[in-house]
Structure 1
Amino acid sequence: MAENDANHDQHPTAELGTDRPLELGLDTFGDITVDADGRTLSPPEVIRNVVEEAVLADRLGLDFFGVGEHHREDFAVSSPEVVLAAIAGGTERIRLGSAVTVLSSDDPVRVFQRFATLDALSGGRAEVILGRGSFTESFPLFGYDLADYEELFTDKLDLFVRLLDEEPVTWSGATRPPLVDQTVQPPAAGGLRASVGVGGSPESVVRAARYGLPLVLAIIGGDPLRFAPFVDLYHRALEQYDRPRLPVGIHSPGHVADTDEAAREELWPHYREMHLRIGRERGWPPMTRHQFDQAAGPDGALYVGSPETVAAKIVRAVEGLDADRFDLKYSAGTLPHEAMMRSIDLYGTEVAPRVREQLARAVAA
């Protein structure tokens, strides 16, 4: 059995971000997109566009850029660290991380080494968000049994947390060979920042608190404030495990345009097709335009609209969930690169200042 326990010392990165102002970031899964003429782009074209999008985000002063890991034909990025390394060379200050790294079907030692290398290349800006992912293609691809879904993540997370201490590790578990007084190289530039991405499972929330890891909530449907009990559970679990307050982040999809109508009209056909494609695999009924408009409404999980509308929704979610970071998942199916670049520009130049101004006024009041 693993040699870690609930009282293991908190790794040094867990304290980062607890007292700083709200972070505003962006996430992408590197969705395969179309150009202005409707031509489907190749994965290499999409990956180069992701780098361009991240460079723009850095230039606009945003705080974080996350790239998801997938192993299927509708997403271009299977190795986020490689893409992030390319981004590191063209950016100066923005933090760079995964959204998420599928730890269950990877090796914790290799994950740490790759992100420590990214941390060196970026001057200490690397971050890894660990999760189980919402797709399962990586399991058969890398020879894992889906029947071991829960054990794989729990066991590998236990080892990864030990690696964050950057000390010789002695560890044994059920899913990989043991380590005996093993030092893992290279070390991170200043301690690797790590967090856990969850979809709302109480067990996952408590696990993050037990290991002293910040929490990122993936909120893709319903009223975001319905996640308030999970945030409360996380804070209570941190107290139980004698942990300090740790950051809570929100990851949600959205699209920004000049007006609410323009944003919805731009996103709808691409979001509909993405939902239909995934729905065929999972048995979902097709999404109606009414359902989409509801999700894009004031209480929905889609942050779609003008800068004023999106800023107001972010403030509502951040205040309601006591969050420390909000990441807009700005890519959605085949939504063209040009539309995403415009959305990023509006998010950085108009949404972010509005959010920070409204939160500052609330604090002052």
Structure 2
Amino acid sequence: MSGQTNTMEIGMSTFLHANPGNGGVSHAERLRQAIEEVQLADQVGLDVYAVGEHHRIDYTSSSPAVILAAAAATTKRIRLSSAVTVLSSDDPVRVYEDFATLDGLSNGRAEIMAGRGSFIESFPLFGYDLKDYEELYEEKLELLLKIRASEKVTWRGGHRPAVDNMGIYPRAQQEPLPVWIGTGG
């Protein structure tokens, strides 16, 4: 172990619980609070701020990349991540493009945590069948990683139209854009 440096990183993740109409805050107010939270997290030296994706009334985080892009404009150092991006019901091209955009806006501080999600509301919302749960995730993760590795992509799968030698833009500032795998139950 000679020469290795052990470091601990500390961060926070949130689903941006709102609970509008039941004594909680509105979705709009919770979004504004999230920007204040990430600014404070950056100021006190936390390493990462992560937003989980949900499509339910009690959460405000249906679009982590947009929320994190707003935070990128007012922070300097903190890494900005999803926790998780529900890749099974999203399009890997759009996910990469959104996080590459965030990466450029944040000067190389974006990360994707790709996962299946612990709730299933996004599957019927975006027209996917739960019987394809495993296959969708594996296929879309394969495409996301292929996009991350190469500017021009050729790919075929069973649940998404093929990509035939197409460029995916913008490219992330970081090479490669960090992609973490997140699992839960």
| Correspondent of 1:194 among 174, 179, 182 | 179
Q: CA deviation at 1:32?
A: 1.2
Alpha-carbon shift at residue 199 of structure 1 (Å): 2.7
Question: Counterpart in 2 of 1:25?
Answer: 11
Aligned to 2:51: 67
Report if aligned partners of 2:151, 2:169 keep a CA contact under 8 Å in 1.
no
- Of residues 23, 34, 42, the one that matches 1:58 is 42
Matches within 5 A, 1:218-233: none
Q: Cα deviations across residues 255-274 of structure 1 (Å, max 9, x unaligned)? A: xxxxxxxxxxxxxxxxxxxx
- For residue 97 of structure 1, the aligned residue among 71, 81, 97 is 81
Larger Rg: 1
Q: What does residue 41 of structure 1 align with? A: 25
Structure-2 separation of matches of 1:33 and 1:139: 22
Q: 1:167 deviation in Å?
A: 2.9
Matching of residues 309-348 of structure 1 within 5 Å:
none
Mapping for residues 234-313 of structure 1, pairs under 5 Å: none
Aligned to 1:134, the other structure's residue is in SS state coil
Cross-structure match for 1:167: 151
Once the two structures are TM-superposed, the CA of residue 117 in structure 1 deviates from its matched residue by 0.2
Does the aligned pair in 1 maintain the 2:87–2:116 contact within 8 Å? yes
1:208 aligns to what?
none
Could you state the TM-score of these two structures normalised by the residue count of structure 2? 0.93
Matched, 1:143 2:112: no
In the alignment, which residue of structure 2 is the partner of 1:305? none
Deviations 1:173-210 (A, max 9, x none): 1111111211100000122111100138xxxxxxxxxx
Q: CA deviation at 1:148?
A: 0.6
Paired residue secondary structure (1:164): helix
CA RMSD of aligned residues (A): 1.7
CA shift for structure 1 position 19: 5.8
- 1:268-296 superposed Cα distances (whole Å, 9 cap, x missing partner): xxxxxxxxxxxxxxxxxxxxxxxxxxxxx
CA–CA separation in structure 1 for the residues paired with 2:5 and 2:102:
25
Deviation at 1:166, TM superposition (A): 2.9
Question: How many pairs are equivalent?
Answer: 180
- Residue from 138, 142, 166 that aligns with 1:154: 138
Gaps of 5+ in 2: none
Q: TM-score, normalised by structure 1?
A: 0.48
- Long gaps (5+) in structure 1: 1-17, 201-365
What do the CA deviations read for 1:116-139 (whole angstroms, capped 9, x no partner)? Answer: 000000000000000000001111
- Give the alignment partner of residue 185 of structure 1, picking from 148, 169, 172: 169
| Counterpart check, 1:84 vs 2:68 | yes
Q: Distance in 2 between matches of 1:33 and 1:20?
A: 40
Q: Which has the higher helix share?
A: 1
Partners of 1:166 and 1:186 lie apart in 2 by: 12
